Amino acid sequence: MLGLGGARKRTAFTQTHDCLYELIRWLADARRRSEPTLAEGEAAFEAIWQERGPIEHAFRDDYRRLAARLVAALIRAGAGRRFRESEPLAIDLPNGRVLVEPNELAELSDGSVVVRRVRTGQKRSDEYDRLEYTLYQLAAQARFGGAVVVQALHLTDETAEAVTITAAKVGHRRTKSDEMLGRIAAGWFPPEVDAVTCPRCPHFFICAATPQGNLVVA
């Protein structure tokens, strides 16, 4: 409305991050046909890097070395698995449907399915208290039943582990998700006023949290 840009500022870090997620998408497709080697993964990433990476940045070599370590961790994490085409997984709640798009779907030797969420960073102390992991659990169980494992892969930590959430927390977050869907359907978006975060928001000048009256440009 005011012609102000709200897009995220591109930095060398975000460019590197975006390159890694593009490689994750490439792997999701390539792994359905074969098991890419580290050399093949590195070659694919280099092509992405030359097109989208911070190749003009003063610390490009440092970012590239960091990316190479994460690429290697990603390739190793897929060894010995039989991957299938990733597909959106639906959760049907009273107030609507939620679609979860996993980064990877794979099968283990015993026939169970692994639904994997891939993060480039480190595991946070409250990682599995985040709503998205409960949605992963609900969607995976709705699609595959009991023979399914939701797994979190953190590339910086080089760890892959099964996500464990108590039944009580899953039930509470399922209810919370349904309440959120109901509010979205009703168009109920009350502003949460915060003196620190509000001025940094791209919607600050048109948000209902702003005072009434005409906007005057000094």
Q: What is the pLDDT of residue 162?
A: 92
Range of the domain at 146: 83-186
Residue where a domain stops, chosen among 34, 63, 80? 80
Dump pLDDT digits (tens) for 184-214. Answer: 888 887 888 888 988 888 788 878 766 666 7
Q: Are 48 and 23 in contact (CB under 8 A)?
A: yes
Please report whether residue 210 resides in a domain. Answer: no
Distance CA 190, CA 88 (A): 30
Q: How many domains does the chain have?
A: 2
Quote the CA–CA distance of 8 and 53 in Å, as a whole number.
16
What pLDDT sits at residue 191? 82
Rounded to the nearest 10 degrees, the angle between the axes of helix 38-52 and helix 12-30 is 140
Domain-located, residue 118? yes
Q: What is the DSSP pairing of strand 113-119 with strand 148-154?
A: parallel
Distance CA 209, CA 193 (A): 6
pLDDT of residue 166: 94
Regions in the chain scoring below 70 on pLDDT = 1-8, 209-213, 215-218
Inside any domain, residue 201? no
38 and 94 co-located in one domain: no
pLDDT number for residue 210: 60
Residue 41 lies in a domain: yes
Domain end: 61, 80, 99, which one?
80
The per-residue pLDDT for 217 is 62
Q: Are residues 122 and 47 in the same domain?
A: no
Phi/psi for 159 (5° steps) reads -125, 145
- The answer to whether position 213 is within a domain reads no
Question: What confidence score (pLDDT) does residue 6 get?
Answer: 60
pLDDT of res. 3: 64
The phi and psi torsions of 88 (rounded to 5 degrees) equal -65, 140
Residue 69 has a pLDDT of 95
pLDDT tens, 64-89? 999 999 999 999 988 878 888 888 99
114/180 same-domain check: yes
Residue 87's contacts (CB-CB under 8 Å, 6 or more residues apart) are 105
Q: Is residue 26 part of a domain?
A: yes
CA dihedral 140, 146, 147, 150 (to 10 degrees): 40
pTM: 0.78
